[in-house]
Structure 1
């Protein structure tokens, strides 16, 4: 039986994480969602996605913030939207489906649906109402929670990251309205959580402004989502809201997973997956 799996935050620049990808067995009948933060450099991204495409029938990728970074030692490298476009072309060359391609349609177990990889960024709106936008970085810095994006992720040619986010929201919403048949449900795939309530960061709560946008709070209902897939937080969990399953599917850094188990236990089954509960349960954490 074919299955749809998901994982994110492979961080393949780290040797143990890269080895786990190389050692993963074949899944010739299954599809895999990869929800960002695979690698910072195009050659590394290509290596990982090419390896996964050789093991799965189809691989669907969307970028995280790490794919958009311009590292200090990357002399003459591209930045901002040009870096995103380069990574899209790299993923395509490796055989993966990207947010700029036609949305694939799943017809296997769990029912027909459209899988939509999204690239939406963030706009700092996941912050307390009393914190002004112009003061959000200083507010986070009070607890040493400033994201490296402030140095490494350029919004060029957009005037700001929030402007780039707004552009991506408008473009993506238009595509979802036009290209998803009204009778079909979706699987929404975004590196960042689509709802602020699922940004769970007990150790670094002031990191939340770099974790999404309030503009997507109702997208799970608006686009009839069976499941919403995200990563970024490195805290694996399952939540239900309005009959939609929200899955945080990060692998994370070496201390956040068991290398002795390999990658397979960290592939989250999305479809056919569990049936909707009679009553929405609390959060289910997926530990080490």
Structure 2
């Protein structure tokens, strides 16, 4: 029995759907889907209908793309309303969602709480001291304009910073109750700014997470931290904790000829070798 992870499926791209359709069944294993499956409920339905029969259990956290405002079967949804609707979709499909009871891994290595989180971003990964407006302007100087600024509605919160703060408080309270066993922390956005490796768009940093979670791997007894968002697959080690970036990404970012199975990242049991690993002091 193994725990796998894959994020940033972006199934709105036909090439990604074709690639994913060839995933081998692993009916004894669990799969973490780390966000950015697509932009609509139908994208999630397609992905879950593909993945559910191939894995014993599927777990999901949202990314920014899922949370973009859009029409969902007759209703225009954004913000917390869309997140709630996608949570209901998960339950209909038998998928464990971010606001459901956190599952406990029963496999090799002993019980681990798999903490499924949606912590968003708050511009604190921009250079120190920048306000939101300054961070957006700083990114724009280098030609970086984030779609989230127009497509991600934080309602009913005043802004994305307030929504992120609320999600951080809620997740921290749940993690305090989960201290009895080690954790696997799962969030679409990376938990630390020193994990950001996006050489093509280095000034995209403001939309990549929140500084509030920098020490969560230590504070909450993490064995592994799983994230996506950056589309730069890698393994990092910090304080003896393994951090996995598990993106599939857009078709242009994939390796020619690489099969879908090769994109799955093993989370537990710990693999004997981790590729593209680096240690961060």
- Is TM-score (shorter-chain normalized) higher than 0.5? yes
The gaps in structure 1 that reach 5 residues or longer are none
Partners in 2 of 1:188 and 1:204 — Cα distance? 26
**Post-superposition offset of 1:12:** 0.4
Aligned counterparts, 1:138-153, within 5 A: 138-153=137-152
Aligned-residue Cα RMSD (Å) equals: 2.0
Partner of 2:227: 230
Partners in 1 of 2:131 and 2:105 — Cα distance? 42
Which SS does the other structure have where 2:77 is aligned? coil
**Post-superposition offset of 1:133:** 2.9
Does the 8 A contact of 1:60 with 1:96 survive in 2? yes
TM-score calculated relative to the size of structure 1: 0.91
**1:211 and 2:211 correspond:** no
The gaps in structure 2 that reach 5 residues or longer are none
Partner of 1:18: 17
Distance 1:67 1:200, change over 3 A: same
Distance 1:126 1:270, change over 3 A: same
**1:35 and 2:34 correspond:** yes
Partner of 1:200: 197
**Post-superposition offset of 1:259:** 5.8
Partners in 2 of 1:256 and 1:271 — Cα distance? 26
Does the 8 A contact of 2:7 with 2:228 survive in 1? yes
TM-score calculated relative to the size of structure 2: 0.94
Which SS does the other structure have where 1:270 is aligned? strand
Partners in 1 of 2:258 and 2:131 — Cα distance? 44
Q: What are the superposed Cα offsets for residues 77-125 of structure 1, whole Å, 9 maximum, x if unpaired? A: 1111111111111122122101111111112113321111101100000
Does the 8 A contact of 1:16 with 1:259 survive in 2? no
Partners in 2 of 1:187 and 1:177 — Cα distance? 14
Does the 8 A contact of 1:228 with 1:246 survive in 2? yes
Partner of 2:278: 282
Q: What are the superposed Cα offsets for residues 45-101 of structure 1, whole Å, 9 maximum, x if unpaired? A: 112012111110011100000000124999851111111111111122122101111
Partners in 2 of 1:63 and 1:283 — Cα distance? 28
